[in-house]
Structure 1
Amino acid sequence: MHKNYIILVHNNPDQLVRLVNKLNDKYSSFFIHVDKTSDISVFISKFSTYSNVKFITKREIGTWGGIGIVKATLNAIGEILENSENDGHLILLSGQDYPLKNNEYINHFFSTNKEFDFIDISPIKEVFPKEWKKRVLFYKYDFSNKKGNYILVPPLFSKEILDLNSIKIIVKIFLNLKNFTFYKAFFKNLTKKRAIPKNLTLMAGGQWWSISTVTAKKIYEFSRQNNELLEYFEYSILPDEVYFQTVINHLKRSDVSIKTKSMVTYVNWERKDCMLPVTFVSSDFEELTSQDETKLFARKFDFKLDNEIFNLIDKLHNENN
């Protein structure tokens, strides 16, 4: 069972090296997408001797909450289908992930679950009961690539346009009068009511998934033949938590061979009084190691914030070998 790791990164090349070294075995290939705003040469230099590490050639700008992350992932899927094994799994990770299980366990897990794709899929109204309209009915406009520098604008002829928050939106619009890129998109969509393409049912879930190469091929072909779905999400916020779930749900309707289970990456969105998702440190070791047998990876970690948590996990894996 071959593992094709897709890793999305924008910084911390040394942390990426540790992640790749940790996961590297004879059953692994790595397809790394470096954000278009980052210096890729720094990353490439770290892996000059690795024959199973490939950098995605078609790079995207991964502005937080934007469509670039979806496009980057699709680009990686395309290159994997052209260059790698067809009987394995594609595993989507970020450069700030780390495995909770050792390679032997991960290999056994995917070998005994060949027929399953691991992705969280539920109706978007259930996953984001208070936010789903803003996620898919409002327009997201970025003023820059900086995280948080955007506005969400409801369609002109919707009741939401009369909300008090519209005053804040109007102020931001006037503060960005010189932003030509924003205004070009804003006036293009001003009177358009958002319509979900082909009457698809919008689904949602965590961004991180592991899917078979067979399913990946079906997703990739659907995406190439239905570009209007990507265009729809061009102005949506956080489409990476909706796009793939929506496509797989649509494919499952007519393809009984696609079987899904929950995602295999553990992320803590529940902790209070901290920035979410939680960035794990040494004091979180017990929380991480107490996750059930289906959680193979976790995010997120910061090499510069706490290096010891990596050592603790590695020590545990060595003891279990």
Structure 2
Amino acid sequence: MKIAYLITAYRDFDHLTRLIDNIQGADIDIFIHIDRKCHYTLPDDLQQKLINRIHLLEDRFLVSWGGFNLTLAFIALMNACREHAHYDWILLISGQDFPIAGNDEIKAFLARHHGQEFLAHHPLPFEGWYHSNGGLDRFQYEWPIDEIGFVAAQKMAEQQQATGIRRAFPLQLAPYGGSCWLTISYGLMDYICSYIEVNFSWIYPFFRTVLLADEILIHSIIMNSPYSTRVVNNDLRYIDWHTGPDFPRILTIDDVDSIVNSGCLFARKFDSHIDNIVINQLEQRRRRIILNKI
């Protein structure tokens, strides 16, 4: 089984290095997009160990929270993966993720679920997105975040809201949204890339000004595709969206039991500067799993 990890990262690069070292293995390639405003160099020992199996994208985007450039980074990662080789599974994760399961456990899970796609999704409007009118405010108003920044874009959206003028979602797709982290087949990734290539002339002008398009565009493509019947409504990530103060909340050692018992493959979001102990615990657990299989 060949697996490709697609990673977007912009901070805490010590953790990113640790993440890479934990997920690397036989028949696993890793593709990484580093935010253009950041600098990251893979340590020499890891670079040698992963020669020809790790790929840092040269063309990088300047990512702002809520802006379309993160979606472009996702698309660039998919295209780089698609051009490199054929894989059985594609896992899109962030640089602040960490695996809960061991590599063999992950492969065994994916083998059991051949023919399925994993994506947390919901049709829009979605009551859980109450802060943005069920998600409708994200696309009914223009949010040119990458051009003018979030604060100015928010003011612009409020001015549009006051006029009562709203944009309609593209007729080609019924709108869906959800968590942007996914576990999908190569076939579905290829479908997404092809769809965007063919329809870029209308996708880019519209979604360029959608707030958090990374949580809408790919979901809408997938759930309007022939692959929709294969989708399991689960992103296989343990994420705390509820307790705050951050959304998602930075996980700590207090969360370790919930993480381990979640049944998920990965957890996020971690910050080694806030709590490195929880990462140590998860790493030690993974090592015990590996040793028990030898």
**TM-score under structure 2 length normalisation:** 0.88
Cα displacement (A) at 1:11: 2.0
How far, CA to CA, are the matches of 2:282 and 2:228 in structure 1?
Answer: 38
2:154 to 141, 151, 155: 151
Letter in 1 for 2:167: R
Mapped contact 2:143–2:157 kept (Cα < 8 A): no
Which structure: greater helix fraction?
A: 2
Mapped contact 1:9–1:95 kept (Cα < 8 A): yes
Alignment of 1:288-307 (within 5 A): 288-292=259-263, 295-307=264-276
Mapped contact 2:67–2:146 kept (Cα < 8 A): no
SS in 2 for 1:216: helix
Aligned to 1:280: 251
Cα displacement (A) at 1:279: 0.5
Cα displacement (A) at 1:196: 2.2
SS in 2 for 1:93: strand
Mapped contact 1:63–1:145 kept (Cα < 8 A): no
SS in 2 for 1:291: coil
Cα RMSD after superposing both structures:
2.4
Matched, 1:142 2:141: no
How far, CA to CA, are the matches of 1:118 and 1:151 in structure 2?
Answer: 32
Matched, 1:251 2:225: yes
How far, CA to CA, are the matches of 2:229 and 2:137 in structure 1?
Answer: 33
SS in 2 for 1:80: helix
Aligned to 1:260: 232
How far, CA to CA, are the matches of 1:43 and 1:12 in structure 2?
Answer: 13
SS in 1 for 2:154: strand
Letter in 2 for 1:136: F
How far, CA to CA, are the matches of 2:147 and 2:219 in structure 1?
Answer: 27
Cα displacement (A) at 1:57: 2.4
**Deviation per CA, 1:165-203, whole angstroms, max 9, x where unpaired?**
xxxxxxxxxxxxxxxxxxxxxxxxxxx852322341110
How far, CA to CA, are the matches of 2:236 and 2:251 in structure 1?
Answer: 17
Alignment of 1:1-321 (within 5 A): 1-40=1-40, 42-43=41-42, 47-49=46-48, 50-51=50-51, 52-86=53-87, 88-126=88-126, 127-131=128-132, 132-142=135-145, 150-154=153-157, 160-162=161-163, 194-227=167-200, 228-252=202-226, 258-272=230-244, 274-292=245-263, 295-320=264-289, 321=292
SS in 2 for 1:32: strand
Q: Which has the larger radius of gyration?
A: 1
Query: Structure 1 residues 154, 148: CA separation in 2 closer, same or farther (over 3 Å shift)?
Result: closer
Unpaired runs of 5+ residues, structure 2, are: none
Mapped contact 2:141–2:166 kept (Cα < 8 A): no
Mapped contact 2:119–2:179 kept (Cα < 8 A): yes
Unpaired runs of 5+ residues, structure 1, are: 164-191
**Identical columns (%):** 21
Letter in 2 for 1:250: N
Mapped contact 1:116–1:261 kept (Cα < 8 A): no
Cα displacement (A) at 1:226: 0.8
How far, CA to CA, are the matches of 2:58 and 2:171 in structure 1?
Answer: 31
Mapped contact 1:138–1:152 kept (Cα < 8 A): no
How far, CA to CA, are the matches of 1:45 and 1:145 in structure 2?
Answer: 38
